[in-house]
Structure 1
């Protein structure tokens, strides 16, 4: 077919005849050939149909399934906070709550009823979580491997199809404006209800925004096939999954077996999939269990089989049914589910020497401390720990070091870290090391938990700049907004005070009467830049004890914010350099 004809076919056929008869110039028309027709069993027909299916991966953070999408708006509850999701941009609110505490399990509750859209663009009302789970399981069972939706490439709409009779004479032109229309049209093609050919050229858009132009059927087939082969691991091909699983260790974040929630028992277990079908499991106490693993492709999808002689709960053939941002959800009928997250830094083979080497590399910040259910980390804001080679440990408080001892021990339950520091009974416990990587150590003791995060300020250019700015000169509180309604601006409470950030980590606050209050400070990175400040219980600066996010910093001004769980600013603190 000639290009002139393809352009004109964008006009309905009868209008085309009228238009052509009015022209002085005679336009040559070539009818489509049989080779250009999309027949029901053709590979290109299947590829176009798979591309036209609804992409349900964008809202996996809500429904955990790529075969459906939840129609917006919808209300969800995360950590007891209700969030209204009106657009895809609102998914960031959920991610922010998930990221707030890295070791928490990501849980989300949907407020029913909701409306879902299937991969076939059909809308269905769902009344409960049980109904949703059943539907997701069924839609995954019904997916055909050979025509699973292709999510990494799309048509740039509009496009047009020529529809013709058995003699290959054009009888109509169908314009397609979106994926739903394309899916319904291709369904008619697959059912042999219409004979059609695609009008070229067409533009294809890859997931990264790259555009490609196809001038004929063969070019289009190659473009879609190549894009499909290069799709992310979310396409669940057996070979890609096998390589991806072996690349890094995986951490268990949620575990259910036979409808029994065993997350508390298996959380933070590490799984290492190795060559030759060997899988190594490390428990929180450091015990190592060796088993076998393998993958196989079925009509349901790719199945992961694990077998351990002494770990029956994991011994099952599981369906790998969802992937997002380094996280797999593994499912099997009967109330069995595992959520695992990839972690390329975690150490599977823990040794005493490795623990000591990690501890001695840099300073460590107490990011979380809970003693018998009571949060204590506020007492350690701006006060990093330093572990030395001779079993000496130092805690920096108000710019001075308190010295104590530490020891790495081995118990039946695993490796422990014991810290002894005068005046710090909360730290003087035998902490079981439950998680170890180069930048993060998690510890437990009965009902107590502690999280240490590595702080290497001398290798971070941003932190070096912040430290230099903060330690240069003296500062004053130019603005303090606590988010409440006041008759008098609370900034007035800080009038006349001078703040000195000493390079040693000490804060020196001088009041209008030349009295001095001491505190601690530490600038650090944690998915953003923060300034932690700890003041004594002396008003008004005790109200500023907090880990403030650095919103902006210059040589003469520092703007700090306190963010709520959903990312909204609750408090603002602005410091300005004194003249």
Structure 2
């Protein structure tokens, strides 16, 4: 590489640089773009370099709620009563999974102290309590100390040179990562002169690489890229989002009221599934379940480093308040106004004011597998994995591995403008309802009835996932012989021995047969392998009403697969982790 050695021609520039004051521009005046020159360690270019090499603390915001530091592994958190060991970034996904899979809106996460955190300059600090952590979080608001640049990165290794006042090289160091570069600049005095062994390479957020030949090009590359990507500092779980983002979020879709608590009184039943439409002119229309419209206004502001949403209705006192927006999950907004004051709303894009033809065409495209049926707050496990096929002329079939039921279906809208799927299945009353569409996604549909204790969730399956190589391979492995349960644990309880005599034979056409010895009972059932709407591989097991098999009936997440061993996992409604391992006999 071309060494950075000649600076005598810039002696006049150096004199200016050494007298550099607070009047400097966004980044310093530099010679022609073909030149190479030293920079002060306190210069704006150096600040850009330090921000680009700072520790990014946003990846664990789901735990600490702060982007300008990260918690050091390993540590332990308690999520909705369940202790989780966090040993790597991958383990953070389990927290989100628990939040998503467990139908609890009051998600609780507690950190087990003490912990160590790493600041943006890679300083490590021990935190002994929730109060100490909160103090650090309050110092770390967006636009304040959280100034790291994540949209562009250095490609290492890089050689950095130091110079004396006479522009004589005094040393060089090879840095291998962001931490070494950040610390190197932090250890320099304000008047120290530095530069790189050019050219150096940087990588943009879209994996594009750019080469720079001097400090001017370096500063320009960072300055140009720093705001070009979403740094995801909010992680959808903390309060680190902008007023503008909230406003865009509100007007993008209608919203379904999911929970209302005022003065510690749960008023959800009164308002459940009311529809709110926010418009850009500051008006909001609330529609009740019979279609009556209630008019109001909305506005937002920033207060105490928080985003606030003010709602004003003449006839809706339970909503008429200024709310702190404390969570923007995927598809949800949570509002808080003090102890015992809370509103939760769910996004309803495609659910409200959509045409029935849209839903009809979606349903007819593929088959739909039942992930969940809940009637009067009780899960109907005997329908798990059954498959709906919606045909023309209003005909619908519901099939398992051994039976097919036929009925009728129709799509209409109710007084609120919400889509409704009416199913009549004479010999299967568990699905024969007028289901309100509450969530519309590419591969998943969720329905309920006005009483939230009734719920239907369907996963899309096209051509039985035959084009998914992983699905086909797992099916072939399971059908390649007989299997036994090598492990079944429910929380801390090891119940493997209860299934020691069981032999599983996974057969074609979704049938699985379980035997318990030569003279023992047999349990026929349904099995299927699919890739669900979240991209996860799932193994459905359903043995109907067989009491001995109830604990094994679930849509299990496939954790690992070999030709002789398959490990499955599930987190149940009470946060209990279940592990099921099959091994080939």
TM-score (norm 1): 0.68
CA contact (8 A) 1:470 1:501 kept: no
Q: Does 2:388 align with 1:385?
A: yes
What SS does the corresponding residue of 1:448 show, helix, strand or coil? coil
Residue equivalent to 1:153? 152
**CA-CA distance at 1:98 after TM superposition:** 4.0
- CA gap of 1:560–1:253, structure 2 versus 1, over 3 A, is farther
Selected match of 2:508 from 501, 511, 526: 501
**CA-CA distance at 1:443 after TM superposition:** 1.0
- CA gap of 1:250–1:222, structure 2 versus 1, over 3 A, is farther
Residue equivalent to 2:568? 562
Residue equivalent to 1:571? 580
Residue equivalent to 2:531? 525
**CA-CA distance at 1:217 after TM superposition:** 0.9
CA contact (8 A) 1:259 1:334 kept: no
Residue equivalent to 1:199? 196
**CA-CA distance at 1:461 after TM superposition:** 2.9
Query: How far apart, in 2, do the equivalents of 1:371 and 1:40 lie?
Result: 67
CA contact (8 A) 2:69 2:118 kept: yes
Give 5+ residue unaligned stretches, structure 1: 7-27
CA contact (8 A) 1:429 1:445 kept: no
CA contact (8 A) 2:559 2:568 kept: no
Residue equivalent to 1:79? 80
Give 5+ residue unaligned stretches, structure 2: 15-29, 31-36, 234-239
CA contact (8 A) 2:277 2:284 kept: yes
More deviation, 175-184/39-48? 175-184
Query: How far apart, in 2, do the equivalents of 1:306 and 1:176 lie?
Result: 50
CA contact (8 A) 2:478 2:506 kept: no
Q: Does 2:369 align with 1:365?
A: yes
Query: How far apart, in 2, do the equivalents of 1:287 and 1:161 lie?
Result: 72
What SS does the corresponding residue of 1:226 show, helix, strand or coil? helix
CA contact (8 A) 2:538 2:558 kept: yes
Residue equivalent to 2:22? none
CA contact (8 A) 1:366 1:384 kept: yes
Residue equivalent to 1:230? 228
What CA deviation, in whole Å up to 9, does each residue of 1:361-404 have, x standing for no partner? Answer: 5443332233444332x211232234556655543245322344
CA contact (8 A) 2:487 2:496 kept: no
| Counterpart mapping for 1:470-489 below 5 A | 477-483=482-488
**CA-CA distance at 1:458 after TM superposition:** 2.1
- CA gap of 1:305–1:371, structure 2 versus 1, over 3 A, is closer
- CA gap of 1:150–1:306, structure 2 versus 1, over 3 A, is farther
Query: How far apart, in 2, do the equivalents of 1:162 and 1:469 lie?
Result: 58
Residue equivalent to 1:162? 162
Q: Does 2:418 align with 1:410?
A: no
What SS does the corresponding residue of 1:483 show, helix, strand or coil? strand
- CA gap of 1:509–1:285, structure 2 versus 1, over 3 A, is farther
- CA gap of 1:394–1:314, structure 2 versus 1, over 3 A, is farther
The alignment covers a number of residue pairs equal to 538
What CA deviation, in whole Å up to 9, does each residue of 1:115-135 have, x standing for no partner? Answer: 333435454544444553454
Query: How far apart, in 1, do the equivalents of 2:85 and 2:248 lie?
Result: 35
CA contact (8 A) 2:352 2:419 kept: no
**CA-CA distance at 1:413 after TM superposition:** 11
More helix by share: 1
What SS does the corresponding residue of 2:226 show, helix, strand or coil? helix
- CA gap of 1:126–1:308, structure 2 versus 1, over 3 A, is farther
Residue equivalent to 1:457? 462
Query: How far apart, in 1, do the equivalents of 2:473 and 2:162 lie?
Result: 68
Query: How far apart, in 2, do the equivalents of 1:346 and 1:93 lie?
Result: 29
Query: How far apart, in 2, do the equivalents of 1:474 and 1:123 lie?
Result: 52
Selected match of 1:441 from 426, 439, 446: 446
- CA gap of 1:220–1:402, structure 2 versus 1, over 3 A, is same
Residue equivalent to 1:108? 109
**CA-CA distance at 1:97 after TM superposition:** 3.2
**CA-CA distance at 1:140 after TM superposition:** 0.9
Query: How far apart, in 2, do the equivalents of 1:239 and 1:374 lie?
Result: 40
TM-score (norm 2): 0.68
| RMSD after superposition | 5.7
Query: How far apart, in 2, do the equivalents of 1:358 and 1:559 lie?
Result: 37
Query: How far apart, in 2, do the equivalents of 1:261 and 1:139 lie?
Result: 34
- CA gap of 1:522–1:222, structure 2 versus 1, over 3 A, is same
**CA-CA distance at 1:447 after TM superposition:** 5.8
Query: How far apart, in 1, do the equivalents of 2:55 and 2:342 lie?
Result: 25
- CA gap of 1:524–1:141, structure 2 versus 1, over 3 A, is closer
What CA deviation, in whole Å up to 9, does each residue of 1:245-268 have, x standing for no partner? Answer: 599649789999999899968998
